[in-house]
A and B are shown apart, each in its own frame.
Chain A
Amino acid sequence: TQLLEQSPQFLSIQEGENLTVYCNSSSVFSSLQWYRQEPGEGPVLLVTVVTGGEVKKLKRLTFQFGDARKDSSLHITAAQPGDTGLYLCGSSNTGKLIFGQGTTLQVKP
């Protein structure tokens, strides 16, 4: 069974700081997705990475997929209070999406 490990679990930073969230597995990912979840809502897809070494940018968010496709990172530049939420990585090697434990991000004004 593939397990996804996310770190850190909690992150509290000041507005304007940079941060990185990691997602790791002992198995190879066929693809990996990052979701953001706001309080009281379901997760919303941010990005899917498929190719080893791939880098995708979404405004201030940069997503990297490791060359061996066993790890991924999410980097946020100049975090804003609106970035506050739960960030989840997910992978669906078996056609069913499994998730890491999530990283709770709090950005203080």
Chain B
Amino acid sequence: NAGVTQTPKFQVLKTGQSMTLQCAQDMNHNSMYWYRQDPGMGLRLIYYSASEGTTDKGEVPNGYNVSRLNKREFSLRLESAAPSQTSVYFCASSEAGREAWGYTFGSGTRLTVV
């Protein structure tokens, strides 16, 4: 099925470890996004990429880096994980200039930092 694929689905890290969350979409969308979801806080934008080769900070970028590898793939890296980064991470994509058509989300990566 067409959509957004995230890997891994679950991950436990120790404080200070690093990891990369992978995201790929097969809908030929230009725009891609990373959100984190915490209880009672909805979804908060970490970084986004309006097109291949561009990335911009969202609402909560501290502690994260991103790479738009190509049109399909947008990865999120935690260089030195902290317990405050325990969250569920969602990748999404949309057609540039067509955000009103809606975002397509992946099924999430559940990250625990101990």
* Interfacial residues, chain A to chain B (CB-CB below 8 A): 4, 6, 9, 30-31, 33, 40-45, 48, 50, 88, 90, 92, 95-102
Contact = CB atoms under 8 A, between A and B. Distances in A.
Contacts of B33: 96-97
A103 B45 CA distance: 19
Q: Is the interface of A mostly helix, strand, loop or mixed?
A: loop
Contacts, number: 62
Interface string B92-114: 10100101111111111000000
B41 interface: yes
A42 B45 contact: no
Interface of B: 4, 31, 33, 40-45, 48, 50, 58-59, 90, 92, 94, 97, 99-108
Contact of A101 (B42, B45, B92): B42
A27 to B, nearest CB: 16
21 contacts: A9-B40, A30-B100, A33-B100, A42-B90, A42-B105, A43-B43, A43-B90, A44-B105, A45-B102, A50-B100, A92-B99, A92-B100, A95-B31, A96-B58, A97-B45, A97-B103, A98-B45, A99-B42, A99-B43, A99-B44, A101-B42
Nearest to B35: A99
A35 to B, nearest CB: 8
Given A88-B43, A96-B33, A97-B45, 15 more contacts: A9-B40, A31-B100, A42-B4, A42-B90, A43-B43, A45-B103, A88-B42, A90-B103, A95-B31, A95-B50, A97-B33, A97-B94, A98-B45, A100-B42, A101-B41
Among B43, B44, B48, B94, residue most surrounded by chain A Cβ atoms (within 10 Å): B43
Nearest to B45: A96
Contacts of A90: 43, 103
A101 B44 CA distance: 9
Contacts of A100: 42
